[in-house]
Structure 1
Amino acid sequence: MQIRAFRVAASALVLGAILTTPAVRAASPTNYAALSKPRQALVDDLERRTFDWFWDSANPTTGLVPDHYPGESFSSIAAVGFGLTAYGVGAERGYITREQAVERTLATLRFFSDAPQNASEDDASGYHGFYYHFLDMQTGKRFGRWVELSSVDTTLLLGGVLFAQTYYDRDTPAEGEIRELADRIYRRVDWPWMQPRAPLISMGWTPGGQFIPSDWKGYNEGMLVYILALGSPTHPVKPEAWKAWLSTNDTTWGEFHGQTFLNFAPMFGHQYSHVWVDFRGIRDDWNREHDLDYFQNSRRATYSQRNYAIANPGKWTGYGANVWGLTASNGPGGIIVEQGDKTLKFEGYTARGAGLDYISDDGTIAPTAAGGSIAFAPEIVIPALETMKQRYGKSIYGRYGFVDAFNPSFHTRTELRTGRLVPELGWVDTVQLGIDQGPIVLMIENWRSDFVWKVMRRNPYIRNGLEKAGFTGGWLDESVP
C-alpha cells in the first residue's frame, strides 16, 4: 500500500432522453421500490457487504477503523466517522442489533474522549480537539511523524460522532452516555485555533512544521468543515469564514462535458458532505445567485463524469456509459509504461478526477465514484454498478463488495505496490478503503430511506452551522421533529 500523508484536495451527451438540456432534471425518477427484483437484490447485497467491511475491520475495543482492509493498516479517523454512521444503518436494516451498535459506538466514543491531546510529536492522538489523520490501530496514537493533525478528517469523524449523538435517543444509561460523549468531543474542537490565516480554516497542523500552508478555499469536501466550525457552541468561527470559502467558487463554475456546474474533479468532493447533510432544497447566497442547490450540483457532476467516460478522451479500456468513475483511490502505482508512441503514467493512490479544475485519469476506475453518487442519480448509477459487477465481478466483487479500484488498461508485469494483475482484465486492487466504502453504504441508505439525512436534520449543531452559513429554505424552514 502506498503511504499517503495528505489527501489531494484541491461533451458527449448521455444516451437516451435523460438529458434534455445541458442541465439534468432536478428530480430523480428512480426509487428502490421501482427497481426490478434483480436490481433490488444488487443494491441489497452491496449495502450489506459494504456495511460488513466496517463491522469486521474495526477494533471492537477502541472502535478504530483501518484505512484499508484486509491486511495490516493504520486507522483512518475519517473511516471511523463513516463507520459510526454505518452502525446505525446496520441497526435499522437488521444486520446487527441496536444493542450491538450501541456497544461498538460507546467503545469508539470513549476512546476518542479519553485519547491524549497534547503538542508532543509521538505521544498524542490529537490536539486542541482535532485528531491526527492516521492513528496506530493498537495504541491509538499518531501513526508517524509524517501524519498531520487534520481539520477535514476530524470533521468526517465528527460527522459520525454527531450522527451518534442524535440517533441514539433512548432513555437508557448507555445511549445517554453516547450523547454526552459525542457532545464533549464536538464541543472540545477549537476551530479558531485552526485559523492562522483567518477567516479561512487551515488544512492541518504538525508539531514539527506547525500549520500547513494551505487553507480550505473553494468548493470541495471542506464544505462540512465550515458548517461544523460555524455550528460550534463553544469555539465557533465567524460567519465570514463561509464567504471566504465561497470566494473562488466562480473560477470553477462552468460547462464540462455537457453539464454546467460547480466543478471539483474527484467525485468524493461531491459526496462527503452530502453523506450527513441533506442539501436538497436548501440554498446559501451562492446557490440563490446560480439558481441551484448543492445536491443538484452534485447530480450534474455525476452526469458529467459519465459523459466524460463516454467521450473517453484518453482512450482507456472499458470506459463507457456504464463503466465510469474517477475519485481518490488506489492505483497500479507510480509506473511509467511506453506503449507504441505513447508514454503512459499509472499513479498509485491519488485524487483522480475530471473537471474544469483538473483532469487526472490513468484508466483506473473506482466503483465508489458511482456507488457513492447513487442518491444523486440512481438511474445512471445502478446500471453502472450492475455492469461493472457483471463484467468484472469475479475479480472485483467479493466478501466486502467492490474492491477499491481496478484498471483494465494496465497489463504490465512488474512489482506492484498494491493489488494484483488479473489475466484478460488488468490491475485489480485487493483491498477496500474506508473513505471509499463509507459513501457507498451511507448514500445507498440515504437514497433508499433518507435515513442519515433525517437523523442529521434533527442535530442542532448541523442546523446552526447551516443557518450561520446563510442557508434557508427546504427542511431548514420546518420545525425540528
Structure 2
Amino acid sequence: MVQKQTFNYFYEGAEPHSGMARERINMDGIYPQNDKNVVTTGGSGFGIMTLLVGEKRGFISKRQLYLRLRRIVYFLEKANTYHGAFSHWYNGKTGQTKPFGTKDNGGDLVETSFLFQGLLCARQYLSAGGKREKALANRINKLWENVDYQWYTHQKNVIYWHWSLKYQWQMDFPIHGFNECLIAYILGACSPTHSIDKVVYDEGWAMNGKIKRNSNYDGIPLQFFHQGDLPNGGPLFWSQYSFLGLNPFGLRDQYGDYGQECVNMAKINYQWCVDNPKHFVGYGKNSWGLTASYSVDGYAGHAPNLKSDLGVISPTAALSSFPYTPKESLSALKCFYYKLGNKIWGKYGFYDSYSETANWYPQKYLAIDQGPIAVMIENYRTRYLWQLFMSCPEVKKGLMKLGFSYKIPED
C-alpha cells in the first residue's frame, strides 16, 4: 500500500507534458503553488525507478510503463543540456532550464547522475523487451553517452558539481568526502565515452585517503569522514540517494565498506532518536528518522547532532532505510500509519515531514524524498533495482576501474 500510494506521486502526479516528476506537490493550499510546471532531474531519476517498481507490482501495465518512459526520454532529448549534463530544474512544458539559484542555471552533474541511475535501470529493463523497447533503450544510451564527466573535473582531480554557460565555474563546488554524491564518481568512471580516471576518485572523493576516519555513536562505528565533519553521520539521504540502484552490500574499496556504513548510519539515526537528547515530543523506538526535508522554518538537513536535530521527523528517512534496518523501519511505518494516521498520510503516501513538538503537520510532498521510499522497500523485498543497475556492463567495468569489490544481488 505504501509503495502504491507513493508510486502515484510519479505516475498520476507527474507533470503531464514531460512525464517528469514535479519538484513538489502541495496539498494543503496554505501557500500558493506557482511552480506546477517545475520538474526535477534527480527526483525524476528516482521516479523512473519507482515506475519500474509500479510495473513489477502490477500498478501499471508494461505498455503504460513503456509509454511513460518514452515521454520522459523524448522530453530529455529536447531539454537544455550543458556538456551533456542536465540542470537541477526544468520547465516541464518547454524543456528550458529553470535556475535553481542565480548562478546555478546550467549543468548539475549530481542531479544528472541521479537521473541516469534511474535511466540505466530503465535501459536494462527495456533491453529485454521487443523491437520498440530496444529502440527506446538505444535512445537512453545516446543521452548517457553525451554526458561529459571529464568536462566536470575542470581539468583537476576532482568532480565539480556545477557548470554554467553564463557563470562558468563560479559555483565552485568540488565534491569531497562522504555525502550523497558517490554515484557521480561511480558513473563518471562508468562512462563509455567520457570516463574519469581513478586518480579523480582517489584525490577528489577520497581526499587522498583522508575520507577514512573512525568515529562512533553509542558503540556504533562509522568509517568515513562525512562532509561537514559530522561524527554521528549526515542526514540519511546520504545513505540512500546513491544506493537506489548501486547495491551497497558487498561494495568495498581500499577506503571502507559502503554497505556497513549505510547500515550503521541508519542504526545511529535510530538510536539518536531513541536517546532523544533534546527531549522532543514523539521521538522513540517507533518514531524516528532524520534527513533533509521541509522543516518548521523552511528546509533543513536534519541529522543526529545537537545543531541539526530540530525536532522534525521525515518518514522517508526510516522508510528508505528498510534494507538497512528492516525491524526498526517496519516499526516506524506502523507508527506513522496507525498512530499519526491522516495527520501525515495523504494522496501520495506519507507527507514529507512533521513535528509533534511544534504540532506541525504540513501536507506537502517533495519528489526527492518520495522517490527513495518505494525503491528501497522494493530493494528490501526483491533487490529489483539493485539487480537492474548492477547488471549494466559499464557499471561493472567502472567499479573494477576504481578498485571496488561488489556483488550482483540475487532474488
- Give the TM-score, by structure 2 length: 0.90
Q: What is the 5 A alignment of 1:98-137?
A: 98-115=62-79, 125-137=80-92
The aligned counterpart of 2:277 is: 313
Q: What is the CA-CA distance between 1:104 and the residue it aligns to?
A: 0.3
The aligned counterpart of 2:216 is: 255
Q: What is the 5 A alignment of 1:76-87?
A: 76-87=40-51
State how far apart, in whole Å, the 2-side matches of 1:474 and 1:452 are. 14
Instruction: Indicate conservation of the 8 Å contact 2:387/2:408, yes or no.
Output: no
Greater shift after overlay, 462-471 or 364-373? 462-471
Larger radius of gyration: 1
Instruction: Indicate conservation of the 8 Å contact 2:14/2:22, yes or no.
Output: yes
Q: What is the 5 A alignment of 1:264-343?
A: 264-287=233-256, 293-333=257-297
Instruction: Indicate conservation of the 8 Å contact 1:407/1:428, yes or no.
Output: yes
The aligned counterpart of 1:143 is: 98
User: Aligned match of 2:201 in 242, 267, 287?
Assistant: 242
Residues 1:156 and 2:120 are matched in the alignment: no
Instruction: Indicate conservation of the 8 Å contact 2:212/2:255, yes or no.
Output: no
Cα offsets for 1:244-270 (capped at 9, x unmatched): 21123124x311243101354110000
Instruction: Indicate conservation of the 8 Å contact 1:60/1:107, yes or no.
Output: no
Q: Which amino acid aligns with 1:128?
A: H
The aligned counterpart of 1:167 is: 125
State how far apart, in whole Å, the 2-side matches of 1:400 and 1:453 are. 24
The aligned counterpart of 2:400 is: 467
Greater shift after overlay, 400-409 or 240-249? 240-249
Instruction: Indicate conservation of the 8 Å contact 1:331/1:429, yes or no.
Output: no
Cα offsets for 1:139-160 (capped at 9, x unmatched): 2211136344211101101111
State how far apart, in whole Å, the 1-side matches of 2:348 and 2:60 are. 16
Q: What is the CA-CA distance between 1:377 and the residue it aligns to?
A: 1.1
Instruction: Indicate conservation of the 8 Å contact 1:77/1:133, yes or no.
Output: yes
The runs of 5 or more residues in structure 1 that have no matched partner are 1-44, 116-124, 288-292, 334-347, 411-425
The aligned counterpart of 1:369 is: 317
The aligned counterpart of 1:343 is: none
State how far apart, in whole Å, the 2-side matches of 1:257 and 1:52 are. 39
Q: What is the CA-CA distance between 1:297 and the residue it aligns to?
A: 1.3
State how far apart, in whole Å, the 1-side matches of 2:63 and 2:273 are. 44
Greater shift after overlay, 126-135 or 274-283? 274-283
State how far apart, in whole Å, the 1-side matches of 2:15 and 2:42 are. 15
The aligned counterpart of 1:336 is: none
Instruction: Indicate conservation of the 8 Å contact 1:265/1:359, yes or no.
Output: no
Q: What is the CA-CA distance between 1:61 and the residue it aligns to?
A: 3.3
Q: Which amino acid aligns with 1:442?
A: V
Q: Which amino acid aligns with 1:246?
A: A
Q: What is the 5 A alignment of 1:327-406?
A: 327-333=291-297, 348-354=298-304, 359-406=307-354
The aligned counterpart of 1:407 is: 355
The aligned counterpart of 1:417 is: none
Greater shift after overlay, 272-281 or 437-446? 272-281
State how far apart, in whole Å, the 1-side matches of 2:357 and 2:39 are. 31
SS at match of 1:438: helix
State how far apart, in whole Å, the 2-side matches of 1:65 and 1:321 are. 33
The aligned counterpart of 2:164 is: 206
Cα offsets for 1:100-128 (capped at 9, x unmatched): 0000001111111232xxxxxxxxx2210
Q: What is the CA-CA distance between 1:461 and the residue it aligns to?
A: 2.1
The runs of 5 or more residues in structure 2 that have no matched partner are 27-32, 227-232
State how far apart, in whole Å, the 2-side matches of 1:427 and 1:207 are. 41
State how far apart, in whole Å, the 2-side matches of 1:468 and 1:354 are. 34
- RMSD over aligned CA atoms reads 1.9
SS at match of 1:349: strand
Instruction: Indicate conservation of the 8 Å contact 1:113/1:184, yes or no.
Output: no
Q: What is the CA-CA distance between 1:59 and the residue it aligns to?
A: 2.6
SS at match of 1:181: helix
Instruction: Indicate conservation of the 8 Å contact 2:78/2:95, yes or no.
Output: no
State how far apart, in whole Å, the 1-side matches of 2:51 and 2:391 are. 18
Greater shift after overlay, 434-443 or 105-114? 105-114
Cα offsets for 1:37-67 (capped at 9, x unmatched): xxxxxxxx11111111110121343222111
CA separation of 1:257 and 1:67: change in aligned 2, threshold 3 A? farther
State how far apart, in whole Å, the 2-side matches of 1:427 and 1:373 are. 24
Q: Which amino acid aligns with 2:211?
A: N
Instruction: Indicate conservation of the 8 Å contact 1:106/1:177, yes or no.
Output: no
Residues 1:54 and 2:54 are matched in the alignment: no
Cα offsets for 1:198-223 (capped at 9, x unmatched): 21101112333321212111111111
Instruction: Indicate conservation of the 8 Å contact 1:168/1:179, yes or no.
Output: yes
Instruction: Indicate conservation of the 8 Å contact 1:194/1:204, yes or no.
Output: yes
Instruction: Indicate conservation of the 8 Å contact 1:78/1:156, yes or no.
Output: yes
The aligned counterpart of 1:89 is: 53
